[in-house]
Amino acid sequence: MIANYLHDIRFWLASHHQAVLSAAVIVAIVYPFAVTTYILSLGIEVLIFAIFAMSLDLLLGYTGLPSFGHAAFFGLGAYILAYFSSHSELALGLTDNLLITLPIVILGTALVAVMLGFLALRTSGIYFLMITLAFAQMLFSIAIRWSSVTGGSDGLTGIPRPTLGIGQWKYSFDDRPSFYYLVLMIFLILWWMLRRIVRSPFGLALRGIRVNEQRMRALGYNTFRYKFAAFVLAGVIAGLAGMLLAQFFWHAVPQNLFWSMSGQALIMVIVGGAGTLTGPVIGAALIRLLPNLASTYTQRSETFMGVVLILFVLFAPGGIIGVLRGRR
């Protein structure tokens, strides 16, 4: 009976894919007008972590690179923004203007991703996982100890909400609804961009590397360059997510660099479904919202989350998207 029910859901989703996508966009647009301030804040968090999870999925799900230090770029994006916000002379007093801060975060995280990727991608498997984890933990230690620059364990505060201005014209995203729409717009742009990338010849080559890298080399592909490009791109997108989170909470903290943040993103990808762009979004919503829902009914919400994750690993290793597609 359950199998027949799931089959009907799969058939309906397959035949109404565009309608479902359009309905999701409409719901996202009217969302701020139908919810409370607290629920709106949760929606902003879900979108930010969905961006973070999609960036990791580009490595794990499409390229087959199991990074456990992806939080390095997530926290780095927040700290780059926070540092320039506290040193307004570095950006000519325009530390809240997206036209200034966005390129700075992109260039900063890209530079670090280039340096790390050049070293880490010469390894593979568990060794790649360990070197990315070690790098993230090194940045976490620096953030804790270099208090004159990073603020130590308290982090850097006073990050302003972003603005968008050219000349005399200026628009501020200071209130939560306007900031939500900014995050939504960035999320949709990145989702569309990643969708085009993974369906392009470049994306197909990444999938080939995940399945059989040696065969791709035999076919003449420079697999290191493909993995390097994917690694840098994933790092930049994770940095943008960290920047948005810092602007939302007005501060950057060392916990964004810690290995547990990478673990959260990894769980979001696995629960939602690796190798898809929709899966990490669903996984981000589930992982960020389910603990809040469970805590209202039980004091053992973490135990409940552990049981849920174990059930996913045992009975739905393909994630939610895998269940909907009928893949075990």
| pLDDT in the model for residue 17 | 61
State the sign of the Cα–Cα–Cα–Cα dihedral 51, 53, 54, 55: positive
> Using one digit for the tens of pLDDT, what is the confidence trace for 43-64?
999 999 999 999 999 999 999 9
Give the pLDDT of residue 232: 96
Rounded CA gap, 92 and 96, in Å? 11
* pLDDT attached to residue 328: 45
First-to-last alpha carbon distance for the chain, in angstroms, is 17
Query: Where along the chain do its domains lie?
Result: 42-256
Going by C-beta distance under 8 Å and a sequence separation of 6 or more, which residues neighbour residue 53?
A: 265, 268, 269, 272, 280, 281, 283, 284
Over residues 306-314, mean pLDDT: 80
What is the per-residue pLDDT across 89-127, written as a single tens digit (0 to 9) for each? 554 556 678 888 899 999 999 999 999 999 999 888 889
- Token code pair at residue 7: 């089959």
Cα(78)–Cα(152) distance, rounded to whole angstroms? 14
How far apart, in whole angstroms, are the C-alpha atoms of residue 147 and residue 89?
20
| Percent of the chain predicted with pLDDT > 90 | 48
Q: State how far the Cα of 187 lies from the Cα of 241, in Å rounded to an integer.
A: 9
pLDDT digits (tens, 9 = 90+) for 12-24: 555 556 777 778 8
Tokens of 120: 């880490």
The mean pLDDT value of the chain amounts to: 86
Residue pair 114/142 in contact (Cβ under 8 Å)? The answer is no
* Residue 25 vs residue 40, higher pLDDT: 40
Q: Calculate mean pLDDT across residues 146-152.
A: 85
- Return phi, psi of residue 253, to 5°: -125, 155
**From CA 239, how far away is CA 184, in angstroms rounded?**
16
Phi, psi of 166 (to 5 degrees): -135, 115
As a whole number of angstroms, the distance between CA 78 and CA 84 comes to 10
Q: What is the pTM of this model?
A: 0.90
Bigger pLDDT: 286 vs 19: 286
Q: Which two tokens stand for residue 294?
A: 């469970």
297 and 250 Cβ atoms separated by less than 8 Å: no
**Lowest-confidence segment of 75-89, 115-129, 236-250, 313-327 by average pLDDT:** 313-327
Residue 308, number of CB atoms within 10 A of its CB: 16
Per-residue pLDDT tens over the stretch 170-229 = 888 888 999 999 999 999 999 999 999 999 999 999 999 999 999 999 999 999 999 999
In which element (H, E) is residue 157 found? strand 156-157
